[in-house]
Amino acid sequence: MNRIDTSELAAWLDQTLQPGRFRDYCPNGLQVEGKASIGHIIAGVTASEALLRAAIARGADAVLVHHGWFWKNEDPRVRGTRRTRLALALAHDLNLFAYHLPLDAHPLLGNNAQLARVLGLQPDTDSTGAPRTCGADGLVWLGSAPGIQTFGQLAARVQERLHRAPQAIGDPERPIRRIAWCTGGAQGMLTEAVDAGADAYITGEISEPTVHLARETGVGFLAAGHHATERYGAQALGAAIAAQFNIRVDFVDIDNPV
């Protein structure tokens, strides 16, 4: 099995995802340093204890996730679940790579791009071929859904492709022409989607004010699940790593109903 230097992989990931472009809530990149070389990576959505134990059981050298550790404004003390996770990583010399907003936004490997692929959405693009976006750091993508005519049809496609029923706010008969989407917890960007002329907005989560804003603007809102909408970026990034460096990358999906 081929192996690469941990520093080489870290440099390639930073060059590919360009974390310096984003005002994020956590450090992006190599969050915990482990073995000096890597031949096997476990990719997943969140660096939970369950994912770490899966990596250890499979003899992996690194974990690659979207949701890592050390979030802004959280308690920095190393105790409880934080101690357990960190102890596992250190005891087994696991590298932990985590990319949050950079993995949402990447035009090919990111969560938004991959959700579009899974749902059959067609992103709008500019003259350079880059996706048209709105919102902070250009995180909300804009486009259409070929073959979809109504909000009800869009909700049905989301349920079919993501294998879970989304929470839908809006008139099922509303005509759909323009769609906005941002994976994960992006309900707070509904206003930007409305201002961009969207007829429907897809994200992962919903909160109480979101319902009123969707009803009062008439824009259809789909909360399709934070985890469900963000399963695909880590998979695509892992596949890109495997192709680039000829090392083993396995995606492990730790089920999460939220």
Query: Where are the domains positioned within the chain?
Result: 4-99+230-251, 105-229
Residue 75 marked ligand-binding: no
Over the stretch 179-228, which tens digit does the pLDDT of each residue have? 999 999 999 999 999 999 999 999 999 999 999 999 999 999 999 999 99
**Cα separation of 54 and 46, whole Å?**
12
How confident is the model at residue 82, as a pLDDT? 97
**Cα separation of 28 and 18, whole Å?**
10
Residue 92 marked ligand-binding: no
Helix (H) or strand (E) holding 163: none
Q: Are 186 and 140 contacting, i.e. CB atoms less than 8 angstroms apart?
A: yes
What's the mean pLDDT in 125-154? 96
Q: Which CATH number fits domain 105-229: 3.40.1710.10, 3.40.1390.30, 1.10.10.10, 3.90.1300.10?
A: 3.40.1390.30
Over the stretch 158-184, which tens digit does the pLDDT of each residue have? 999 999 999 999 999 999 999 999 999
> Beta partners for 221?
169, 201
Residue 230 marked ligand-binding: yes
Q: Are 176 and 122 contacting, i.e. CB atoms less than 8 angstroms apart?
A: no
218's tokens = 């008439």
How confident is the model at residue 163, as a pLDDT? 96
How confident is the model at residue 12, as a pLDDT? 98
Residue 227 marked ligand-binding: no
How confident is the model at residue 147, as a pLDDT? 97
Percentage of the residues of the chain whose pLDDT score is greater than 90: 100
Q: If you ran DSSP here, which 8-state letter would residue 189 be given? A: G
DSSP secondary structure of 26-40 = S--EEEE---SEESE
Do 4-99+230-251 and 105-229 have matching folds?
A: yes
Angle at 97 between CA 47 and CA 7, to 5 degrees: 155
What pTM value is reported for the model? Answer: 0.96
**Cα separation of 83 and 69, whole Å?**
12
**Cα separation of 209 and 103, whole Å?**
27
What's the mean pLDDT in 81-89? 98
Map residue 16 onto helix, strand or coil.
helix
Question: Can you give the length of the chain in residues?
Answer: 258
What's the mean pLDDT in 107-133? 97
Give how far Cα 7 sits from Cα of 70, 207, 241, 250, Å.
21, 40, 14, 20
How confident is the model at residue 1, as a pLDDT? 73
Residue 104 marked ligand-binding: yes
CATH class of the structural domain 4-99+230-251: alpha beta
